[in-house]
Chains A and B, each alone.
Chain A
Amino acid sequence: MPIPNRLSELRQARGWTQRELAERLGVSRQTVISIERHRFDPSIPLAFRLAKVFDCRIEDIFQVDDSTDLS
């Protein structure tokens, strides 16, 4: 079960398209789409890249709390 995230919200707040974000991250557009739709958990290096691109912490993008299913 992928971890919920705010990627779409953060991307749109900056006015970036999915393709622009993918280019900034160095991944495919399909990867961005899959993460935004909560179908794919990024690797740890990609999570750090996301945090760097959005200039925030990983926890600000991915929302994990006691109720999150991490199985």
Chain B
Amino acid sequence: MAMTKQTRWLAVAGLGLALTATLTPLVAMSRPNPATADVMTTAMIIGSVAFAVSWLVLVAGPVLTRSYAEGNVERTWLERALARTAVDVLGGTAAAALTLTTNDIHAPAGPALTIVLAAGLADLGLRYLRLRQS
């Protein structure tokens, strides 16, 4: 039976949550006495990737990976969104690196990279949706 748009998005949320809830404790427990901040960072990394993978598999995959994917408008939206996200991430990372360096601020690498990853994925998602709505 074909999934409706609503059930497909619910499945994305469910799969993303399930992957995050399953993998986060496993990864967090691989460290002795993990701090709450470490667990939160791990959850954000895994969550960002889990939701992105769920979206790719359940929503975009059937369209983007079919034999004639390049003819689909979704592929064009994704390519445009990726190009703009790359510029955002590069610009944002450069600005952040410059700020940290000039102000002699020492940020922990894990959370900092997690923020870049999560912000990049969120930016990509929002840009894709904006192109879809336009």
Contacts and interface: CB of A to CB of B under 8 A. Distances in A.
A28 B73 contact: yes
Contacts, number: 34
Count chain A CB atoms within 10 A of each CB in B63, B70, B72 and give the residue with the most.
B72
Q: What's the interface size class on B, roughly?
A: 10 to 19
A40 interface: yes
Contacts of B76: 40
B110 interface: no
B96 to A, nearest CB: 35
Nearest to B132: A30
Nearest to A44: B71
Nearest to A35: B73
Q: Is the interface of B mostly helix, strand, loop or mixed?
A: helix
A54 B129 CA distance: 32
A43 interface: yes
Nearest to A43: B71
Contacts of B70: 43
Interface string A21-42: 0000111101100110001101
Nearest to A22: B72
19 contacts: A25-B71, A26-B66, A26-B71, A27-B72, A28-B63, A28-B72, A28-B73, A30-B63, A30-B73, A30-B74, A31-B72, A35-B73, A39-B73, A39-B134, A40-B73, A43-B70, A43-B71, A45-B71, A46-B68
Interface of B: 63, 66-68, 70-74, 76, 134
What are the 7 A-B residue pairs with the smallest beta carbon separation, nearest first? A46-B71, A34-B73, A31-B73, A26-B68, A40-B73, A28-B63, A28-B72
